[in-house]
Amino acid sequence: MGCSTIRAAVLAIAALAVVNAATADTIHLKSGSTLDNVDVKKETYKEVVYRQRPIPNDITRDLSEVARVEYDRVPSGYNEGVEAMKVGSFDEAIAALKDVNDRSPLYQYALYRIAESHRSAGRSDEAIAAYDKLMSEVSDSKFYPESLAAKAATLSVQKKTAEAKKIYQQLERDTKSKGFDSSWEYEAKFRIALLEGKGRRDFENMARDFERKAPSIAAKARLQVGYVLAEEGSYPEAIRYFEGILASKDATGDARGGAWAGLAQCHIRKDQAGEADFKNATYAALRTVILYPDAREAMPRALYFAGRGFELMRTPNTPWKRRYTTLYDQVIREYGATEWADLARKRR
């Protein structure tokens, strides 16, 4: 073998090593298996597009099969932004996330987290603008349906019910026309029912209708039934609903967080019948706060009842005033437009 031939072979091996080093992304599938050392080209609301040697062409995997994508090369600004979000430093998070280049596959992630940071900071107008920017700049983003739903939810917080309903109706239409996962159609129907103030029977019917088509949304409908029962003072029945959700394999983190918050409400409100369990109420509420930090809708309820539990357990030997006032302050600061913030203000 001549020197030129040997040199060519060495260069080919070196090039292969460089390519392999550059394509070290990992796709985690819902089945539990992984696709290792791939080069993820794109994530859309339909599919993940990637390459895997030695196949020279793009390969697609339906998004419904994918749990998450783990990128080998993550911009430092993205990591800094995510860490800042975790500790509630939303302005720092936004500043860091804005440094993510629009050529990065994590650009859409950065845009979505910027919107979520604004929303968590209570800046509704900025959040809506950020969701719109994501949907405009990355029109096939994997976060498109989430952004529509979050935009509608933000409008609802602003008491712009008619506008929120229109966005949910758009989500319902787009699920069919764009090919989103079918669960978004049922999520939209559920949200519209909430906006329209549907009652217990409506959500019971919805839970039955959605059980096979969208079991995770059915769990959310059952959660609403539990909330109604709790407000009516039917605590044993409400508790059965909440415990059923926690036992369900189909319930999402949102529903589980809501169920723990509902249990906390029942255990504290049973005080009117002399059957309160302040300790378990506090534990239940703190489970939402600690284990389900992304359960945004359940969080103000959980924070309020965690604070209420500490307040009701206070004795001269347990100086817990600082704990419950801190929790009340957090409800007021982060969820000021909710009924739970109004209740917290009365306790301060």
How do residues 96-113 score in pLDDT, each as one tens digit? 999 999 999 999 999 999
Mean pLDDT, range 318-323, rounded to an integer: 82
State the Cα–Cα distance between residues 179 and 173, nearest whole angstrom.
Answer: 10
User: 135 pLDDT exceeds 70?
Assistant: yes
What is the pLDDT at residue 15? 39
Q: At 175, list the tokens.
A: 């699920």
Domain 16-70 fold is: SH3 type barrels. (2.30.30)
* Residue 122 banded pLDDT, cuts 50, 70, 90: confident
For the chain, the structural domain boundaries read: 16-70, 88-142
Q: Which pTM does this prediction carry?
A: 0.84
What is the pLDDT at residue 315? 82
User: 7 pLDDT exceeds 50?
Assistant: no
- CATH for 88-142, options being 1.25.40, 2.30.29, 3.40.720, 3.30.70: 1.25.40
* Residue 3 banded pLDDT, cuts 50, 70, 90: very low
Quote the Cα angle for 239-245-251, to 5°: 160
Indicate the average pLDDT of the chain: 90
What is the pLDDT at residue 59? 94
State the Cα–Cα distance between residues 61 and 9, nearest whole angstrom.
Answer: 34
- Within the chain, strands assigned E span 25-29, 34-43, 47-51, 59-62, 66-70
